[in-house]
Amino acid sequence: MMTEESEEIVFVVDDDSSVRESLGRLFRMVGLRAQGFASAAEFLKSGPSNVASCLVLDIRLHGMSGLDFQSELAKANIQIPIVFITGHGDIPMSVRAMKAGAVEFLTKPFRDQDMLDAVRLALDRDRKRRDEEKATSDLKRRFEDLSRREQEIMALVTAGLMNKQIAGELQLSEVTVKVHRGHVMQKMGARTLPDLVRMADILGIRRPK
């Protein structure tokens, strides 16, 4: 359990060293790894993490505000859940942050538990996203392993066509379609047709025109 937990990391970006250190101490207490940065630029320099992570971000940053940093990250396609903290939050600010996908918006001084709950939620969300990403990339790899013909047949099958129709469409015999279809089910690891349909959905496969 401990090892699994320590695979997660919380990044703290706050220009006040006291706040930064106290947060680090809090996360260490619940067994989370924490890393503090005095500015957004410093955080970017450290490079992307390959474990589940989240960002605790002070809205009031010098150089670049936390909200601007959030949109910068989105633009650079860096997907990391953000928990905002602020000394003087107001409603428009929090609305903007939440709309842009923030997990939570906490006003200093915040309760420990609120912070830990928010961080937990953020980490779970990141882990889930990473898992989904991982599953999708597995599927992608399997789909790419299919032959061209098999990929065509998978698209038509998942579009709801019967073997006979597929055979007509591709100028093949019904038997050949059946064989290919068996290969597709096997290679994609789909036990039933609905499984295959869901996979096609995830991969975004559409019937070719």
Partner 1 sequence: MFKDLRTSTKLVLLCGVFIALVGATTYSLVTEKLIAIEFARKELGGSRYLATVREVYAAVLARPPFAAAPPSPSASMDDLRKALATAQKNAGAALQTSEIAQALVETLGLWSRNPGSDINHASDVLARARQLASRIADDSNLALDPDLDSFHVQDLVARKLPAFLGQLGEVQTLLHGAATARSLSNEQKLRAQILEPLLRSTTDEMEATLAAAYRGNPDGSLKRAVDGAFAAMMSSAGAYLGGLGATSAGGDAAGRDAAAADHLYRDALNGAVGLWQVAQSELDRLLQRRIDGLLERMRLTLALIGALAALSIVIAVMTHRHIVGPLERLEKVASAVSETKDYSLRIDYTSRNEIGQLAAAFNDMLAELAAARARERLEQSELARNARLTTMGALTASIAHEVNQPLSAIVTNGGVGLGWLAKAQPNLDEVRAALKSIVDDGRRASEVIVSVRGMFRKDGRERLPIGVNDLMRQVLALVHSELESQRVLLQTELFEDIPEITADPVQLQQVFLNLIVNAVEAMNSLTDRGRLLLVKSQLHEGRDVLVSVADSGTGIEAGNMDRIFESFFTTKSQGMGMGLSICRSVIEAHSGRLWASARDPHGTVFYVQLPGPSSSRG
Query: Interface with partner 1 by CB under 8 A: which residues?
Result: 15-16, 18-19, 21-23, 25-26, 28-30, 38, 60, 62, 85, 87-88, 108-113, 115
Q: How far is the CB of 43 from partner 1 (least distance, A)?
A: 15
The nearer residue to partner 1, 29 or 95, going by C-beta atoms, is: 29
d(CA 155, CA 208): 7
The nearer residue to partner 1, 33 or 207, going by C-beta atoms, is: 33
The nearer residue to partner 1, 32 or 177, going by C-beta atoms, is: 32
Name the β-bridge partners of 86.
107
The nearer residue to partner 1, 65 or 151, going by C-beta atoms, is: 65
Is the Cβ–Cβ distance between 67 and 42 less than 8 Å? no
Q: How far is the CB of 152 from partner 1 (least distance, A)?
A: 56
- Give the CA dihedral 50, 55, 60, 65, nearest 10 degrees: 40
Q: How far is the CB of 195 from partner 1 (least distance, A)?
A: 45
Which stretches of the chain are DSSP H helices? 2-6, 17-29, 40-45, 66-75, 91-99, 112-145, 148-158, 163-170, 174-188, 193-203
Q: How far is the CB of 133 from partner 1 (least distance, A)?
A: 32
Pairing of strands 33-37, 53-58: unpaired
